[in-house]
Amino acid sequence: MSDFEAHGLTYGGFGPVTFALEAGERVGVTGPSGCGKTRLLRALADLDPWQGVIRLGAQAPLDMRASAWRRRVAYVPAESQWWHDGVGSHFTAAPSERALGELGLGPDVLTWPVSRLSSGEKQRLGLLRTLAGRPAVLLLDEPTAHLDTQRVLAFEGVVRQACEQEGLMALWVTHDAEQLRRVTARGYRMGPRGSWEEVPSWA
């Protein structure tokens, strides 16, 4: 049994999708707009209806509360959600100055109102907020879409470090072929009707 897997997964008219990830692995997903990439990630996080098999180790989504599953299998959208007025109110434990600095953020950002954040700052803070919940899987949906090159590389480095040091698994959706080659060794290509093709190497 793999550490995270799906078999015969269908969702919203797309699929079937089958894949398996091992601890520490980063796997890419690419394909044209509208092929169901975001809906795949939302299904894996049990945010949208699905059929088939999803397992994290020996556990399936129905084996635990939905909120617990979503902390373990964490969906990170391109546009993160913020529900309090202040940035710091979204963290049960404030990220370290070092963690903020790795993403080009100062400690004072935690005192800001959310309305002051740029889209790129929201993406970087959204990653830190998700990592603070100690997930087993990151479902990354175009997570660097609003970042410049320097911040993109920093974001990638934080995810890579979490995977290599903590065994975190990442399913990374992007249109950026260069990013796929930098952050993943293999992956899957989706077609316009949600077809699913394994790509053993992006080389």
Structure confidence by residue, pLDDT tens digits, 84-140? 999 999 998 889 999 999 999 999 999 999 999 999 999 999 999 999 999 999 999
pTM confidence score: 0.95
Q: Which domains does the chain have, with CATH numbers?
A: 4-85+135-199 (3.40.50.300)
DSSP string, 48-90: S--EEEEEETTB-GGGS-HHHHHHHEEEE-SS----SSBSGGG
Q: How far apart are CA 82 and CA 80, in angstroms?
A: 7
Structure confidence by residue, pLDDT tens digits, 5-23? 999 999 998 989 999 999 9
pLDDT of residue 92: 87
pLDDT of residue 55: 97
Bridge partners (DSSP) of residue 165 are none
pLDDT of residue 52: 97
Structure confidence by residue, pLDDT tens digits, 159-187? 999 999 999 999 999 999 999 999 999 99
Structure confidence by residue, pLDDT tens digits, 43-91? 999 999 999 999 999 999 999 999 999 999 999 999 888 999 999 999 9
Whether the pLDDT of residue 194 is over 80: the answer is: no
pLDDT of residue 154: 97
Give the CA diameter of the chain: 46
Classified as helix, coil or strand, 134 is coil
| pLDDT band (50, 70, 90) for residue 1 | low
